[in-house]
Structure 1
């Protein structure tokens, strides 16, 4: 009678501590992908708070106790009275009453609550994976750094909001808005790249092939242009430039607006002049789309690319078309809340697809 074979071991548990098995790779990368999805939600909620003027409705920063919303009528009245002291209320929302204040308050509260929830979603599983020895020490340190950066992002958010409390202001400073958005996208990109590397640790292409190096170079160029386009979009949002010149492709009948260079020194136009800010965003978006087209033209005709690289290139083509169409739609409709929020969020989606392309083309 043949001897009974022992049951298969659970490789995720029997592997040496700090050594990631295939099962643990899938589990950890899935957790990080979920975090990235939550970050996309955070960017979407942030777009809604910006477009509805909700960001200044909470005038204090309480990282711990702020998780509890107002629980009494007296507390609502206190917060509303505090909001009535800033210029935004008198110039934009005067007379809308406590009910109107509650609507914008909840949008900002959800934005901050979502950030706290993301912090717990990162920290608690990180502690569990570390104590169980399911991730390497280097990965644990990297993910803990991400947690610290997430807390720093909250501080940057308050730094941005505080700029809207000035006596002569009804909105946050565009530079601080761009800083807050950039920090969120950097954290998103870092977590996403880490998740890709855990899920697919081995490159599937032949990195020495010259034609693949050409595709990789074009992809890096497209990524750089996309990042510049997103920054320009941040200034377009911060200066409210999207509410002007709501036609496409011409701006007030001109390809280049006549008052593009009205400020001195010239570089000031790129950040303050609404005509120049919107034109730069249009120009960079178009250059990004054309460069992505070149990536597809060269990449899909290149032999030696793996299946993941080919699929990511096709996905990139669709993503850039959708984002460009969203941008034009948002402009022509004069930036409704839904379109502005979707356009802002899909910029991060496009960045994620671009990172997938770069990761699938990476060197060993």
Structure 2
């Protein structure tokens, strides 16, 4: 580690005890927890578990029901939801089936609490010890705030599915919840990479290049479309590829207006998501080509991530949204974000 020297030539106390490698490893660990969270979130969504817990209790909610009476009380709350009255109830859901979906939503929320503690407690420790390098406190504080927002967005998402006769959460809130997780993941990885560079003697943080910006925008659209497809169960709009309903473009109803169709129609969104994927692939190929002379492994990681992601997307469709294939599709989407962020960081170092 190269210590920072102030204008008088003295080494500041904060910089002399800073531990960028330890901080970087901690942030990579938290990023790993976020990847697990994304996978569990996919299971929660695909098993229709998200509305099983109808209240938000940040502290006491960490404990599941501990008695049969508690389970019956939770089940009674769930029976008041539109999802139970219109979907799971008529299908014959009993208490055992409720316990299954309750577990995944509870586990998803528990992981959120664990991630919050895994970030906040070490942050406080490093802060008190003066081990955070100059300029990184605001960034780490912003990541902490982003994690708090992620939890709040998760509750707003759940609440959107508890009103009236709603049988699912809002796909808009689901996209906000999921994309915030991806942004948090990207921020953790970028900051960790900057800290590793600092430990190697490069005090200048990486910058966002023009290539990273436009490729990131293309990828963001694809991730947004994927979240909307998930929220609307639009993956079930077709079980064939490359055709939908025996044709390249499916029959789409425009009767409620262009804006409504673009934002709500499951057939249209499924169609756009499956073909915008290749715009994202083309953008990522350009990025990988520019990264290859700097770091061949970074380029390979991008190629591997989008290649597996496309194959999993096709497999998800033709299997009728098989649970574990669809979960893998969401998880590899997060890994693709990680590979993109690493590539963007490599380009930012070059500049």
Question: Aligned residue for 1:93?
Answer: 88
Question: Aligned residue for 1:3?
Answer: none
Alpha-carbon contact 1:270-1:280 (below 8 Å) kept: no
Partners of 2:172 and 2:194 in 1: how far apart? Answer: 33
> What are the ranges of 5 or more consecutive residues in structure 2 without an aligned counterpart?
4-10, 203-208
Question: Aligned residue for 2:7?
Answer: none
Partners of 2:16 and 2:343 in 1: how far apart? Answer: 24
Alpha-carbon contact 2:288-2:300 (below 8 Å) kept: yes
1:230 is the counterpart of 2:216:
no
Could you state the TM-score of these two structures normalised by the residue count of structure 1?
A: 0.86
5 Å-filtered alignment, 1:144-159, equals 144-159=141-156
Alpha-carbon contact 1:157-1:180 (below 8 Å) kept: yes
Alignment counterpart, residue 70 of structure 1, candidates 65, 71, 92: 65
5 Å-filtered alignment, 1:22-61, equals 24-61=19-56
Partners of 2:35 and 2:289 in 1: how far apart? Answer: 29
Going from structure 1 to structure 2, the CA distance change for 1:141 and 1:20 (only over 3 Å counts) comes to farther
Could you state the TM-score of these two structures normalised by the residue count of structure 2?
A: 0.89
Question: Aligned residue for 1:174?
Answer: 171
Instruction: Give a deviation string over 1:282-334, Cα, whole Å, max 9, x none.
Output: 1211111122233344554xxxx33xx32201111111101111111111111
TM-superposed deviation, 1:71: 1.2
Question: Aligned residue for 1:208?
Answer: none
Question: Aligned residue for 2:190?
Answer: 193
Question: Aligned residue for 1:285?
Answer: 277
TM-superposed deviation, 1:251: 1.3
TM-superposed deviation, 1:20: 6.4
> What are the ranges of 5 or more consecutive residues in structure 1 without an aligned counterpart?
1-10, 205-215
5 Å-filtered alignment, 1:109-258, equals 109-136=106-133, 138-201=135-198, 217-258=210-251
Instruction: Give a deviation string over 1:98-147, Cα, whole Å, max 9, x none.
Output: 11111111100000000000010001111111111111353233212322
TM-superposed deviation, 1:78: 0.7
Alpha-carbon contact 1:203-1:360 (below 8 Å) kept: no
Going from structure 1 to structure 2, the CA distance change for 1:109 and 1:338 (only over 3 Å counts) comes to same
TM-superposed deviation, 1:249: 1.0
Instruction: Give a deviation string over 1:28-49, Cα, whole Å, max 9, x none.
Output: 1010001111111111111111
Alignment counterpart, residue 272 of structure 1, candidates 264, 269, 275: 264
